[in-house]
Amino acid sequence: MEPLSFLAFGFMQRATLAGLFLGVLLASLGVFVTLRNMAFFGEGIAHGSLAGIALAVFAGLSPLPVAMGWAVILALLIFFLERRTRLSADSVLGILFTSSMALGVVIMNMTHGYQPELISFLFGSILSVSYFDLFIIIGCSLVILTWLFFSHRQLTLLSLSEEQATVAGVPVALQTVLFYIALALATVLGVKILGIILISALLIIPAATSRIFAENFRSHMIWSVVFSELIIFFGLAFSFYLNTPSGATIVLLGAIIFFLVAGKKLLQRP
Amino acid sequence: MIRVENLEVRFGTHPVLTGVQFEVTLGKIAAIIGPNGSGKTTLIRAMLGLTPIAHGKVLFDGKPLERMRDQIGYLPQKFRFDPDFPISVGEFLGLTLRRKKPTSLTAKLTEVGLSASILYKRLGSLSGGQLQRVLIAHATLHHPALLILDEPSTGIDIVGEKQFYELIERQVKEHHTTVLLVSHDIAVIAKVVDQVICVNKKLVCSGPPRETLTQETLSELYGHNDMELYRHQHPHL
């Protein structure tokens, strides 16, 4: 069997292309997620998006755009509730994602018959990436990455010290809400491949792995993206040849790399 | 002219500063002094928009100071950040977002007594004194129109303190920067600054050091009759 024979199939080409774009996007955002201790955010948004997906299936609409719209609403709610109440971001997220999931379960219950779309969103499915999905994934990734390219200095300063960012004239509220929206959209886009349950791994594992040894921000960002692309590409390849679920294979491969890097660090003298 | 008009800051219902009013001429150095807990840091944080103002205005050349943020350099009393944050000193200094062209990083580091090799070190790996010097370099890098420094010489040695005040004086002379600093070192203040602003929940005094740093004013400000502190001399300055 040829090493790259999996790319001969149209669905694998779409999944790989979508995966590689999402890899750059999620790894770049993941750097800021780990620096700002927001690991729970991706988890919450992914689970909360279930209501959007269930709503789209119930109404006979395309799930991805509806889920994206729902995720943006959740991101805005998190932002405003966090600022206007005295609750921590974790508490706000905990309330919103469980209530949104509960809504999703109720709507799913009202939808009769077997719903393959819902199952594919829960666990991810490389077979489910259509040309329409690919178009949305690439389009949104390019828009978010362009914003990130122009805002990365402001976001870095904001992640390092909100106070310094404020004094330096960074529009703190605007950049924070844009970051939340970008994160929510990227998470939902990734749900297509990794599923609701596993997507946050792609936000956290590459960034956490590179952070173990990165001495500066540039290498942290570059290695995070490299790890992400490697685990997505080889994860998809392994899942094809081993006939294992794509999302779970990608996450397991990422976890193995993380533990190898962490293990090497543990063996080094402090 | 920097103009603070009838400034009032409250934490909840508790007033921390009331009726603070003073002016600082552009291109001059002013020091804010007062006992611990008197509201010095709160005053500069309120001026910078980091602490909400209950009442009053802060104007820089007639415009709200908040609109001049790209022209302000700020050194906080304590720079809170995650020491594991993977960012080098060079990257940190590159994060300033000002319009003016910066001084070369190497030249600026030399000014604050650091070598260029520190540019590649992780920010979180620096000693307290090195970090303070890097923060001073960061605050002055783009020759801000207003430099606000909260206890700037904390953690730096005598040589560093001397270099710091030389840097401030050069900044004022060459770039017409207005400097507002919080300090407890009254002997140094008396020699370096053009104006002293005494604060203890309210404005106690404001004026040139010779007029304000009197036994009487300091006793009123600090609540002690014998201000030995003022007589302490710094041979390095």
Give residue-wise pLDDT tens across range B17-32: 998 999 999 999 999 9
The answer to the question of residue B237 being in a domain is no
Average pLDDT (A211-216) is: 90
* Nearest by CB: A167 against B48, B80, B92: B48
A164, closest residue in chain B (CA to CA): B74
Q: Over 70: is that where the pLDDT of B149 sits?
A: yes
Which residues in chain B are contacts of A211 at CB distance < 8 A? 84, 86
Arithmetic mean of pLDDT over chain B: 84
Q: Rounded distance, CA B63 to CA B65, Å? A: 6
Q: Rounded distance, CA A203 to CA A187, Å? A: 8
Q: Over 70: is that where the pLDDT of B230 sits?
A: no
The answer to the question of residue A118 being in a domain is yes
B138, closest residue in chain A (CA to CA): A164
Contact B86 A156 (CB under 8 A): no
Asked if the C-beta of A220 comes within 8 angstroms of chain B's C-beta atoms, the answer is yes
Which pLDDT belongs to residue A144?
97
The answer to the question of residue B236 being in a domain is no
Average pLDDT (A129-156) is: 93
Contact B92 A216 (CB under 8 A): no
Count of domains forming chain B: 1
What band does B97 get if pLDDT is binned at 50, 70 and 90? low
Average pLDDT (B68-75) is: 86
B83, closest residue in chain A (CA to CA): A160
Task: Give B51's DSSP letter.
Answer: S
Tell me how many residue pairs between chain A and chain B have CB atoms under 8 A apart: 67
* Nearest by CB: A35 against B85, B91, B96: B85
Q: Rounded distance, CA B28 to CA B64, Å? A: 19
The answer to the question of residue A213 being in a domain is yes
What band does B234 get if pLDDT is binned at 50, 70 and 90? very low
Q: Rounded distance, CA A241 to CA A217, Å? A: 36
Which pLDDT belongs to residue A21?
94
Count of domains forming chain A: 1
* Greatest pairwise CA separation for chain A in angstroms: 60
The answer to the question of residue B41 being in a domain is yes
Which pLDDT belongs to residue A152?
92
What is the residue range of B8's domain? Answer: 2-231
The complex scores an ipTM of 0.81
User: How would you label B148-169 residue by residue, b for 16+ Cβ within 10 Å and e otherwise?
Assistant: bbbbbbeebeeebbbbbbebbe
The answer to the question of residue B83 being in a domain is yes
Which residues in chain B are contacts of A219 at CB distance < 8 A? 86
Which pLDDT belongs to residue B225?
58
Which pLDDT belongs to residue A17?
92
Q: Whole-model pTM above 0.95? A: no
Which pLDDT belongs to residue B103?
63
Å between B161 CA and nearest CA of chain A: 23
Å between B96 CA and nearest CA of chain A: 7
Asked if the C-beta of A11 comes within 8 angstroms of chain B's C-beta atoms, the answer is no
Asked if the C-beta of B102 comes within 8 angstroms of chain A's C-beta atoms, the answer is no
What is the residue range of A73's domain? Answer: 20-262
Pairing of strands B72-75, B29-33: unpaired
The string of pLDDT tens digits covering residues B192-221 is 889 999 998 888 888 898 888 888 888 877
Which pLDDT belongs to residue A123?
79
CATH number at residue A126: 1.10.3470.10
The string of pLDDT tens digits covering residues A67-95 is 999 999 999 999 999 888 878 878 888 99
Residue carrying the six token digits 């956490």 = A208
What band does B229 get if pLDDT is binned at 50, 70 and 90? very low
Task: Look at A219 and A128; give whichever has higher pLDDT.
Answer: A219
Which residues in chain A are contacts of B96 at CB distance < 8 A? 168
* CB of B37 closer than 8 Å to CB of B224: no
What is the helix (H) or strand (E) element at residue A29, kind and residue range?
helix A10-35
Asked if the C-beta of A102 comes within 8 angstroms of chain B's C-beta atoms, the answer is no
Contacting residues for B109 by C-beta, under 8 A, at least 6 apart:
B115, B116, B118, B119, B133, B134, B137
**β-sheet with B55-60: strand ranges across:** B14-24, B2-11, B55-60, B63-64
- Give the residue among A25, A20, A19 at the shortest CA–CA distance from A145: A25
Q: Over 70: is that where the pLDDT of A153 sits?
A: yes
What band does B179 get if pLDDT is binned at 50, 70 and 90? very high
Residue carrying the six token digits 């609750």 = A87
Residues within 8 A of B (CB atoms), A 144-173 only: 153-154, 156-157, 159-161, 163-164, 166-170
Contact B91 A154 (CB under 8 A): no
Q: Which residue of A36, A217, A219, A220 to mutate against B (max B Cβ within 10 Å)? A: A217
C-alpha distances (whole Å) from A103 to each of A61, A74, A199, A200, B136 are 17, 13, 20, 21, 52
Which pLDDT belongs to residue A120?
77
Indicate the range of A192-206, B9-23, B86-100, B106-120 predicted with least confidence.
B86-100
A220, closest residue in chain B (CA to CA): B86
The answer to the question of residue B116 being in a domain is yes
Which pLDDT belongs to residue B22?
92
What band does A219 get if pLDDT is binned at 50, 70 and 90? very high
Task: Look at B81 and A255; give whichever has higher pLDDT.
Answer: A255
What band does A256 get if pLDDT is binned at 50, 70 and 90? very high
CATH number at residue B44: 3.40.50.300
Pairing of strands B203-207, B29-33: unpaired
Å between A265 CA and nearest CA of chain B: 15
Contact A153 B74 (CB under 8 A): no
Contact A216 B69 (CB under 8 A): no
Asked if the C-beta of A218 comes within 8 angstroms of chain B's C-beta atoms, the answer is yes
